[in-house]
Structure 1
Amino acid sequence: MAGLVKALGLMLDDLDRVAGAPNSPYSAEPFDAAPYGFPSCFPHLDAGTKASRPPEKAVSLLHMTNANTTFEYKELFLASAEIFVPAAPAEVYRTVSDLPRSGEWSPECTGGTWVAGRAAEVGAVFRGTNHRAADVVGWAPVVRGEWTTEAEVTAAEPGRTFRWAMRDGAGRKQESSWGFDLAEAPGGTLLTHHFRMGRATEGIEHITADMGRAERAQFIREWQVKIERDLRKTVERIAEVISGQ
């Protein structure tokens, strides 16, 4: 127990230094979180559309267990991508809120159906069909091939924002939120696609359950890059789809 308390104290000392480093947008001093199982910062992708993790406190300790020290993070994943679309916000909103059309622009979601509630309204549930190739973070035990997911709409403001949260196996909303924000711009709409995961989902816990600390850190880094890349591809394809309508 004394060793556990000491380890917690050392990590809290490290976390106190997190904010505004010269070597990272997240830490005032070099912060090695690998001993705790996760990296302290994530790659940025700025080619074409924007895709980045905001410069904020990257990690925060929420709780721990006595059997295995378990660190929870403020945001396990956080990313966004934006693009200009030459169409009015109302038209862009009608497109991005039509989740059954996701196969036209998503790198993984191939479509799906509304299974509960009124389509695209808060509380509605969407069952999505998905496909993931074998080479996506190929070394990790992630789901591949075909599978289905369920998501619940959490915000639906026409012309402004549309968001949904992924559900777990029991139908409960998880801290895994996707969405689109829209802002009127000269000649069209600035569309922002974003993703946030706070507490790890069922899927992430399953994927990382048998990983050591170094493997978990590598997986989180590579999955963050994948998310950013997917967000960028998605908004680029949405712009193409709407421009061609």
Structure 2
Amino acid sequence: MDDYGVTGATTGVEVLVGLPIGAVWGGVTAIERYGEWSPECYYGGWLSGRIEEGARFEARNRFSDGFETYVTCTVTVAEAPYRFGWDVYGGEAVPFAHWEYELEDRGGQTLVRQTFSHGPGDSGLRQGAVEQAERAAEVIQGRLDQLADNMRTTLRAMESTLS
């Protein structure tokens, strides 16, 4: 089945945050606080105790149309205080997304590079592209733009809360 370019669809942002790298690391790894900052994720909770590769957490997202998702995530990189990333699973053996933060120390500030890449697993984006095949590129780009906006919103909310 053609996935219309969903697999590998990627977006990202660079945001200079007015916090030292240790504070930003503490924020991006505080999964339980994402509900305070994110426009979509309203709940996050660790399923295992330590922030390390292989650790798992669950997340719940609510979209503007009221649709909700419940996902399980597996940490793929945890290199304190520079890189933190995870794969997102929706019940399949393969992930449908990968999220990652790269942090660069800028003295009292931190340059945050956050990326999202769509994986081969099933997702709402894939379903939307298939259902609207004639507009698939527009549907995909619209979601990528929304995700980038959400990243900036989340990072700014995190910055103001942790300041």
Compute the TM-score of the two structures, normalised by the length of structure 1: 0.59
Given the alignment of the two structures, is residue 113 of structure 1 paired with residue 40 of structure 2, yes or no?
no
Which residue pairs with 2:60 in the alignment? 129
1:83 maps to which of 6, 10, 15: 15
Relative contact order (alpha carbons < 8 A, sep ≥ 6): 1 or 2 greater?
Answer: 2
* SS class of match (1:102): helix
- 8 Å contact kept, 2:11–2:116: yes
- 8 Å contact kept, 2:60–2:69: yes
Return the offset for 1:96.
0.9
Q: Please, which runs of 5 or more residues in structure 1 have no aligned partner?
A: 1-67, 135-143
Return the offset for 1:182.
0.6
Q: Percent identity?
A: 24
* SS class of match (2:135): helix
- Structure 1 CA distance for aligned equivalents of residues 136 and 126 of structure 2: 10
Compared CA separation, residues 232 and 163, structure 1 to 2 (3 A): same
Return the offset for 1:231.
1.6
Given the alignment of the two structures, is residue 208 of structure 1 paired with residue 140 of structure 2, yes or no?
no
- 8 Å contact kept, 1:97–1:120: yes
Given the alignment of the two structures, is residue 167 of structure 1 paired with residue 98 of structure 2, yes or no?
no
Compared CA separation, residues 150 and 81, structure 1 to 2 (3 A): same
Compute the TM-score of the two structures, normalised by the length of structure 2: 0.86
Compared CA separation, residues 238 and 173, structure 1 to 2 (3 A): farther
1:192 maps to which of 113, 133, 145: 113
* SS class of match (1:133): coil
| Alignment-mate amino acid for residue 22 of structure 2 | A
Return the offset for 1:236.
1.5
In the alignment of these two chains, the number of paired residues is 162
- 8 Å contact kept, 2:128–2:139: no
- 8 Å contact kept, 2:102–2:112: yes
- Structure 2 CA distance for aligned equivalents of residues 169 and 198 of structure 1: 14
| Alignment-mate amino acid for residue 50 of structure 2 | A
For residues 52-75 of structure 1, the C-alpha deviation after alignment (integer angstroms, 9 at most, x for no partner) is xxxxxxxxxxxxxxxx6x367596
For residues 81-116 of structure 1, the C-alpha deviation after alignment (integer angstroms, 9 at most, x for no partner) is 22222322122111110111101211111122222x
Q: Greater CA radius of gyration, 1 or 2? A: 1
Q: How large is the Cα RMSD of the aligned pairs?
A: 2.2
Given the alignment of the two structures, is residue 177 of structure 1 paired with residue 135 of structure 2, yes or no?
no
Which residue pairs with 1:104 in the alignment? 36
Compared CA separation, residues 228 and 177, structure 1 to 2 (3 A): same
- Structure 2 CA distance for aligned equivalents of residues 71 and 112 of structure 1: 29
Return the offset for 1:130.
1.6
Given the alignment of the two structures, is residue 147 of structure 1 paired with residue 79 of structure 2, yes or no?
no
Compared CA separation, residues 124 and 111, structure 1 to 2 (3 A): same
- Structure 2 CA distance for aligned equivalents of residues 71 and 146 of structure 1: 22
- 8 Å contact kept, 1:87–1:187: yes
| Alignment-mate amino acid for residue 197 of structure 1 | H
- Structure 1 CA distance for aligned equivalents of residues 111 and 94 of structure 2: 28
Return the offset for 1:230.
1.2
* SS class of match (1:202): coil
